[in-house]
Amino acid sequence: MAFQQSDLDRLDTAIGSGIRKVTFADGRSTEYQNLDDMLRAREAIVGILAKPAPGTTGRRRFIVGRVGRL
């Protein structure tokens, strides 16, 4: 099951407002029994979103500075 950042945002909004039913970006709806279930689902989604996409190394490259001639 693929999740998007918008799914996490919707779940966060529901947690903050006390709503237990969440409709995700792909149309799936889930009604949670309690806040603990919602927080566990949130942690699972955060873990999924933190993984690098398949086929990528997960490394980040940064350019610190460039030196050139004038």
User: What does the pLDDT look like over 40-63, one tens digit per residue?
Assistant: 999 999 999 988 767 766 666 676
Predicted model pTM: 0.71
Residue type, 33: Q
Distances, alpha carbon 2 to alpha carbons 19, 23, 24, 63, 67, in Å = 23, 14, 11, 32, 43
Contacts 24+ apart (CB under 8 A), 24-31: 26/2
User: What does the pLDDT look like over 2-54, one tens digit per residue?
Assistant: 899 999 999 999 999 999 999 999 999 999 999 999 999 999 999 999 887 67
